[in-house]
C-alpha cells in the first residue's frame, strides 16, 4: 500500500496558529463570520493553501475552494473540508481539523507523488455555526441550493446588518446565484471532524466512520389560553395553557419511545410560561421542540404525531395555538462505496475503528444533497466540544488525516 507521511508537527502548528485569530483570550476561541478575526484568519489560510501549491476560488459568500488538479480535470472532483468559524468561547479543533487536516491530506498526497485521476478539492465552508445569522451551515446550504439567493438577501444579523452588505464589505462580491454547485460538481465528499462526543474514547478507538447524520426538526409552539387569578377563578372552564403544554410534553417523549427507531430522540428544551407568577393562571406558553432521527420517515412520523396531539389537546381544552416549523432538514445516509473505501483504508493502516451515527449535524449533511458523502471522526477527549477544553491528541488527528487522504485518493481514482 502507498505510504504517506503526515507532517504532524506542521499540521499541529497550523492548528495552533489558526487558534490565535480569536476574539476571546486563549485557550478559548471565538471567530464570528466576517469579523476582523475571521478576515485575518482567511488571509492566513489563503497563504498556507498557496504555499501548498493549490489554486483558490472563492464564491459570493466566501466559501473557499482550494484545488489540486487531477490528471483528468474535467471529471467531477473529490471534495473534503469543514469550517473555521467558532462559536463564542469554544475550542480550536471543531471544524478546523477538517480544514487544516484536509489541506494536510492533499499536501501529503502531493509530497508522496500520488497523482489522482480526479481533482482533489478542499472546501472551507462559510459559517457552519449559526452564531451570526441564526442558521447553521449557511455556506453549505447555499452550495446545495437549499438556501436560495432570495433567502440570503433577506438575512440580517441581530444588529440589523444585512448579510448582503457584510459579505460584500468582506470582499465577497461575486453573485449569490453563483454559489449553488451543480449536481455533478463532486463525485464524493468526505469531511474529517472531531467526534464531539465520547464514544470513540470510551471504546478506545482511533477512527469513526460515519454512516448517517441525524437531522433535527425544530418546532416552536405558542399556546394561548386564558389567564386570571389563581384563587378567584374556579376550575370549571379554565383554559390553562401550561396544563395543555404538559400533555404535549408527555406526547413528545412518547413519540420518540414509540417510533420504532433506536435513533429517535425528541426533546422539549424550552418552555416559557406567561405571566409566570404563582398566583396567576398561565395564559400563554411558548415551547420549542427538537425532534431527530437518522431516517427521514421516522423523524417526520414523530413531527406529525406531535402536531396531531397539539391539535387534539388544544381543541379539547379550547386553547389557541400557533405551530411554526423553524427547520426541518433531511437526515443523510453516507455513500456505501465511500464507507467501504474508508473501512478498507482504516483496516490496512491497522487503526481501530467503528462505524457510527453522527448525532450532531455538519456541512456534509447538505453536501449529501448533491453527491455521495461520508465523514471520518477522530476522538474528542471527554466528548468535550464547543468549549475551550476541546482536545484531540496530535497523533489521533494525524491518523484521521491519513485515513482521509488515502480514502480521497482511492475515491479519486474511481
Ligand atoms: Zn463543526
- DSSP reduced 3-state for 358: strand
Do 314 and 365 belong to one domain? no
CA of 191 from ligand 1 middle (Å) equals 10
**pTM assigned to the model:** 0.88
Do 178 and 56 belong to one domain? yes
Give the helix ranges, DSSP H, for 258-335: 296-317
Q: Of 328, 362, 383, which one is at a domain's C-terminal end? A: 328
- Quote the cell numbers at residue 65: 475552494
CA of 76 from ligand 1 middle (Å) equals 25
| CA–CA separation, 293 and 305 (whole Å) | 14
- Quote the cell numbers at residue 195: 467526534
Give 113-167 as a DSSP string.
T---SS-EEEEEES--S-TTTS-S-HHHHHHHTSS-HHHHHT-B-TT--BHHHHH
pLDDT given for residue 3 in this prediction: 78
| CA–CA separation, 197 and 338 (whole Å) | 23
CA quadruple 22, 24, 28, 29: dihedral positive or negative? negative
Nearest to 323 by CA among 315, 332, 311: 311
Do 209 and 219 belong to one domain? no
Q: Of 328, 361, 395, which one is at a domain's C-terminal end? A: 328
User: Domain range for residue 134?
Assistant: 8-213+331-411
Contact 110, 412 (CB under 8 A): no
Do 246 and 376 belong to one domain? no
CA-CA-CA-CA dihedral for 116, 119, 122, 125, to nearest 10: -150
Domain-embedded: residue 63: yes
- DSSP reduced 3-state for 347: helix
Do 116 and 132 belong to one domain? yes
CA of 192 from ligand 1 middle (Å) equals 10
Cell 417523549 belongs to 253
- Quote the cell numbers at residue 82: 469543514
CATH number of the CATH domain containing 69: 3.40.630.10
CA of 195 from ligand 1 middle (Å) equals 9
**H or E segment and range at residue 96:** helix 96-111
Do 68 and 203 belong to one domain? yes
CA-CA-CA-CA dihedral for 191, 200, 26, 43, to nearest 10: -10
CA of 367 from ligand 1 middle (Å) equals 14
Domain-embedded: residue 2: no
Phi first, then psi, for residue 406 (nearest 5°) are -70, -30
Do 118 and 202 belong to one domain? yes
Q: Of 273, 307, 328, which one is at a domain's C-terminal end? A: 328
| CA–CA separation, 105 and 412 (whole Å) | 13
Do 86 and 193 belong to one domain? yes
| CA–CA separation, 404 and 36 (whole Å) | 31
pLDDT given for residue 189 in this prediction: 98
Contact 122, 55 (CB under 8 A): no
- The Cβ-side half-sphere exposure at 290, using a 13 Å CA radius, reads 11
CA of 193 from ligand 1 middle (Å) equals 7
| CA–CA separation, 222 and 206 (whole Å) | 45
Do 146 and 259 belong to one domain? no
pLDDT given for residue 1 in this prediction: 57
CA 31 from chain center: how many Å? 16
CATH number of the CATH domain containing 284: 3.30.70.360
Do 209 and 290 belong to one domain? no
- The Cβ-side half-sphere exposure at 242, using a 13 Å CA radius, reads 14
CA of 131 from ligand 1 middle (Å) equals 13
Do 311 and 201 belong to one domain? no
| CA–CA separation, 70 and 410 (whole Å) | 13
Instruction: Per residue of the chain (414 residues), give pLDDT as tens.
Output: 567 999 999 999 999 999 999 999 999 999 999 999 999 999 999 999 999 999 999 999 999 999 999 999 999 999 999 999 999 999 999 999 999 999 999 999 999 999 999 999 999 999 999 999 988 999 999 999 999 999 999 999 999 999 999 999 999 999 999 999 999 999 999 999 999 999 999 999 999 999 999 988 999 999 999 999 999 999 999 999 999 999 999 999 999 999 999 999 999 999 999 999 999 999 999 999 999 999 999 999 999 999 999 999 999 999 999 999 988 999 999 999 999 999 999 999 999 999 999 988 899 999 999 999 999 999 999 999 999 999 999 999 999 999 999 999 999 998
Which residues lie at CB < 5 A from ion ligand 1? 94-95
pLDDT given for residue 170 in this prediction: 97
**H or E segment and range at residue 77:** strand 77-83
CA of 137 from ligand 1 middle (Å) equals 9
Cell 491519513 belongs to 402
| CA–CA separation, 308 and 317 (whole Å) | 14
CB burial readout 47-58, b (16+ within 10 A) else e: ebbeebebeeeb
pLDDT given for residue 215 in this prediction: 87
Amino acid at each position: 500500500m502507498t505510504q504517506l507521511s503526515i507532517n504532524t508537527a506542521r499540521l499541529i502548528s497550523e492548528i495552533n496558529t489558526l487558534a490565535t485569530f480569536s476574539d476571546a483570550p486563549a485557550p478559548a476561541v471565538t471567530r464570528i463570520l466576517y469579523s476582523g478575526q475571521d478576515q485575518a484568519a482567511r488571509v492566513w489560510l489563503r497563504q498556507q493553501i498557496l504555499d501548498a501549491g493549490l489554486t483558490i476560488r472563492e464564491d459570493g459568500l466566501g466559501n473557499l475552494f482550494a484545488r489540486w488538479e487531477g490528471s483528468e480535470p474535467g471529471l467531477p472532483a473529490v471534495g473534503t473540508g469543514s469550517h473555521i468559524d467558532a462559536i463564542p468561547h469554544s475550542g480550536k479543533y471543531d471544524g478546523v481539523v477538517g480544514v487544516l487536516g484536509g489541506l494536510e491530506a492533499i499536501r501529503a498526497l502531493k509530497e508522496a507523488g500520488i497523482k489522482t485521476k480526479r481533482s482533489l478539492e478542499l472546501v472551507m465552508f462559510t459559517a457552519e455555526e449559526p452564531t451570526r445569522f441564526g442558521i447553521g451551515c449557511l455556506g453549505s446550504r447555499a452550495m446545495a441550493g437549499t438556501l436560495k439567493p432570495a433567502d440570503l438577501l433577506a438575512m440580517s444579523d441581530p444588529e440589523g446588518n444585512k448579510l448582503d452588505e457584510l459579505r460584500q464589505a468582506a470582499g465577497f462580491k461575486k453573485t449569490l446565484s453563483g454559489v449553488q454547485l451543480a449536481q455533478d460538481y463532486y463525485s464524493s465528499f468526505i469531511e474529517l471532524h472531531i467526534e464531539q462526543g465520547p464514544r470513540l474514547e470510551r471504546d478506545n478507538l482511533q477512527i469513526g466512520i460515519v454512516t448517517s447524520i441525524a437531522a433535527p426538526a425544530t418546532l416552536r409552539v405558542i399556546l394561548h389560553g386564558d389567564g386570571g387569578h389563581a384563587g378567584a377563578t374556579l376550575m370549571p372552564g379554565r383554559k390553562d395553557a401550561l396544563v395543555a403544554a404538559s400533555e404535549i410534553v408527555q406526547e413528545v417523549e412518547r413519540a420518540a419511545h414509540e417510533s420504532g427507531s433506536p435513533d429517535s430522540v425528541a426533546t422539549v428544551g424550552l418552555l416559557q410560561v406567561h405571566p409566570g407568577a404563582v398566583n396567576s393562571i398561565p395564559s400563554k406558553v411558548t415551547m420549542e421542540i427538537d425532534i431527530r432521527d437518522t431516517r427521514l420517515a421516522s423523524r417526520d412520523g414523530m413531527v406529525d404525531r406531535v402536531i396531531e396531539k397539539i391539535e387534539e389537546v388544544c381543541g379539547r381544552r379550547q386553547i389557541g395555538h400557533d405551530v411554526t416549523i423553524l427547520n426541518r432538514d433531511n437526515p443523510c445516509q453516507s455513500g456505501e462505496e465511500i464507507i467501504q473505501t474508508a473501512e478498507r483504508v482504516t483496516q490496512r493502516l491497522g487503526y481501530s475503528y467503528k462505524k457510527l451515527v453522527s448525532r450532531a449535524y455538519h456541512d456534509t449533511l447538505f453536501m449529501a444533497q448533491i453527491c455521495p458523502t461520508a465523514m471520518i471522526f477522530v476522538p474528542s477527549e471527554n466528548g468535550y466540544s464547543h468549549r475551550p477544553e476541546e482536545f484531540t491528541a496530535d497523533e489521533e488527528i494525524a491518523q484521521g488525516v491519513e485515513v482521509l487522504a488515502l480514502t480521497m485518493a482511492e475515491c479519486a481514482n474511481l
